[in-house]
Structure 1
Amino acid sequence: IGILFATQLGLPAGAVLLTAVQILYVNLLTDGLPAIALALEPIELGVMKRRPRRRGEGVFTPTVLRFIGVGGVWSCVMCLGTFLWAMHSGRSFLEAQTMCFVTLVLIQFVKAFNFRSLEESIFKMSPFTNNWLIGANLIGCILLVLIIYLPSLQKPFGTYPLSIEDWVVVVLATLTVFVVLEITKSINRYLSPPGR
């Protein structure tokens, strides 16, 4: 989307929202570590009360597609939103790009906790039942801070040190994804109640 609408987004000629290195970082570390941790997630409570799947039903059920679709679209909106906010508030392109990158990384951490269940609210699940996930996100956060503030890592990753105000905007944008995914879970519970 950033490439298609580069001019409308105010990007300098030839610039992109995220660099190749940043995308690689998100794919390998930000998505990789939590994905491994989610594989170690304990069995969901009440799983035996759910109706059995139909024969031949694929992995991408309507519940899964709703969750992925809504989460993906809203994540895109928030990443673009933080970038545009930064550009229109007088930040440099590099700072706006860093805010977009950090927003995406933090959103992936939030999604990892939300994806523990497609229907059960995160408020009903103890975060301490999967310490691997907590550890994976903690490592990811430490690496993210190093990438942003360590001068030797800023150049290869194309980052800019963010101010407290920048962090507030990024965290608020990230928290909206949490809220949207919780609403999606409520819709999933309504459309696919246990035993139906």
Structure 2
Amino acid sequence: MSEDEQPARIDGIGVVGRVAPEHKVLLADTLKKKGHVVAQVLWIHFVVNASFGFALGFDRESPGLMRRRPRPRGEPVLTRPVRVTVGIGGLAITVVLLGLIKLGQAHFDSVGTGRSIAFTALALLLLWELGKLPARRSRAT
């Protein structure tokens, strides 16, 4: 595709996934040429995923784990209390993040700024939750 065609075709693109690095640069450059602000969010991806990988790699062993009886066949991995807790937590997080987007819109007159605030808050929340995993695990054993 020629450079002249790129700005005209970029508006028809919806979601982009599994893109080679050179194509990411091409997409970002094309969006910039059209006046869009292009933010790199890879740092959040790195911080969140690297932290979980690090925690899994250096996690302590669970004494007696292999002596536990397996779950009965057909018993769900996520029990009803866990599903309720996850549902309520997810709803609370959603409300807070939507509130942060509205705050960014009201205070900075920009939905984009509100999204950035909410996205950063979500990343920090995930890191905070990651720090609580060892305590939860020790209670479960």
- Give TM-score, length-normalised by structure 2: 0.50
Structure ID, larger Rg: 2
Higher relative contact order (CA 8 A, sep 6+): 1
